[in-house]
C-alpha cells in the first residue's frame, strides 16, 4: 500500500485517479481550494489539505499541511487551469495560468518532503510552447490564453525531466492524459477518460519495471518523445533559474550542478 498526494482532485482526472487508488487500497491525500469543495471520495481520503494554488502563500500552507501528515510515496501534480480569458494576477502579481500550472508544482516540489515518485501532468499542447523564456509571466506580450497554456505545459514537462536528471533517487515523469471529457476538456473531447488517469496512478504505485523509470514523457502508458526543449539541459537549467527568480525559492542547490 502506498501513500499518494494528488492536487486538484475534486473532479475530472484528479477525482478519477483518487477513486482508483482508494479502490486499490492505497492511502490518498488530496488538496482542494476550499473546505466547501467536497466530493465523493473525501471520506475515504486519509488526508485533506486546503489551499488555493494560485497563491504562493496558500501553496506553502498546502505543503505544510501535507508535511504534517507525513511523507508521501508519490505526488501527482494534477491541478491545472486551461484557457483563461485574461492574464489575471495572483497575490504575488503572476499570470494565473503560469502560477497554477507551473509555479505551484515547482513550489510544492521544493517544499514537500521529497517522495519516491513524482508525476506531473502536461499536455500535447506543450509542443507549441516555444523555447524563449524572455517573458514567461506575460508582463509585456499581448495575452494569448492558448499560448500561455502551451508554455506552462512545456515548462512542467521540462521540470519533470530536470528533476529526473538532478534527483536520481526520485522517479520523476510527465504525463499527457490526452484531450479527455472533463470540465476542462469539455464533453466532446475525443480521448479516453479511463486511460487519461490510469497512466499516472500506474506510475505512482506500480512495481512493474516498466513503471519504475524516470525522465519519461507518457501518453496512455506509452513513452513518447517530448518536445526537444524538455530534454535540453540548457533549457532545463535556464527554466529552473527563471522559476527560482520568480518565486524566490531555489529547487536545486546551484545551477549547472547535480
Tell which wins on pLDDT, 254 or 100: 100
Catalytic option among 82, 120, 149, 155: 149
- Residue 11's pLDDT is 61
Q: How many Cβ atoms are within 10 Å of 250's Cβ, its own excluded?
A: 14
CA distance between the termini of the chain:
31
Distance CA 97, CA 81 (A): 6
pLDDT at 255: 44
What pTM value is reported for the model? 0.90
Q: Reply yes or no on whether the pLDDT at 26 is more than 70.
A: yes
CA of residue 213 relative to chain centroid, distance: 18
Q: Do the strands 171-175 and 117-121 form a parallel or antiparallel pair, or are they unpaired? A: parallel
Contact 28, 46 (CB under 8 A): yes
- What does the pLDDT look like over 194-207, one tens digit per residue? 667 889 999 999 99
pLDDT at 77 over 60: yes
Q: What pLDDT is stored for residue 88 in this prediction?
A: 94
Active site (annotated) includes residue 155? no
C-alpha cell of residue 93: 502579481
Q: Tell me the pLDDT tens digit for each residue of 167-191.
A: 999 999 999 987 544 445 444 444 5
pLDDT at 258 over 80: no
Active site residue 120: no
Give yes or no for a contact between 226 and 126, defined as CB atoms under 8 angstroms apart. yes
Q: How far is it, in rounded angstroms, from Cα 177 to Cα 195? A: 7
**Do residues 28 and 41 make contact, with C-beta atoms less than 8 angstroms apart?**
yes
- Taking every pair of C-alpha atoms in the chain, what is the biggest distance, in angstroms? 49
Asked if residues 203 and 117 have their Cβ atoms less than 8 Å apart, the reply is yes
Of the candidates 106, 120, 153, 219, the residue annotated as catalytic is 153
Amino acid at each position: 500500500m502506498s501513500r499518494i498526494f494528488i492536487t486538484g482532485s475534486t473532479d475530472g482526472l484528479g477525482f478519477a485517479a483518487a477513486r482508483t487508488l482508494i479502490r486499490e487500497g492505497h492511502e490518498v491525500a488530496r488538496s482542494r481550494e476550499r473546505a466547501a469543495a467536497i466530493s465523493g471520495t473525501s471520506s475515504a481520503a486519509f488526508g485533506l489539505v486546503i489551499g488555493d494554488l494560485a497563491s504562493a502563500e496558500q501553496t506553502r500552507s498546502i505543503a505544510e499541511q501535507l508535511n504534517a501528515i507525513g511523507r508521501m510515496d508519490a505526488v501527482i501534480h494534477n491541478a491545472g487551469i486551461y484557457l483563461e480569458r485574461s492574464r489575471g494576477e495572483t497575490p504575488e502579481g503572476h499570470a494565473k495560468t503560469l502560477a497554477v500550472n507551473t509555479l505551484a508544482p515547482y513550489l510544492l516540489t521544493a517544499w514537500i518532503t521529497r517522495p519516491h515518485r513524482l508525476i506531473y501532468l502536461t499536455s500535447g499542447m506543450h509542443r507549441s510552447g516555444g523555447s524563449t523564456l524572455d517573458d514567461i509571466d506575460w508582463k509585456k506580450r499581448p495575452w494569448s490564453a492558448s499560448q500561455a497554456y502551451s508554455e506552462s505545459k512545456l515548462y512542467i514537462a521540462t521540470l519533470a525531466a530536470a528533476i529526473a536528471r538532478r534527483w536520481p533517487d526520485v522517479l520523476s515523469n510527465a504525463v499527457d492524459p490526452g484531450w479527455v471529457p472533463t470540465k476542462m476538456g469539455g464533453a466532446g473531447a475525443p480521448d479516453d477518460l479511463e486511460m487519461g488517469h490510469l497512466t499516472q496512478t500506474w506510475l505512482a504505485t506500480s512495481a512493474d519495471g516498466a513503471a519504475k523509470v524516470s525522465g519519461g514523457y507518457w501518453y496512455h502508458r506509452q513513452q513518447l518523445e517530448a518536445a526537444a526543449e524538455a530534454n535540453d539541459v540548457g533549457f532545463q537549467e535556464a527554466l529552473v533559474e527563471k522559476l527560482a527568480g520568480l518565486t524566490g525559492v531555489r529547487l536545486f542547490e546551484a545551477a549547472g550542478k547535480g
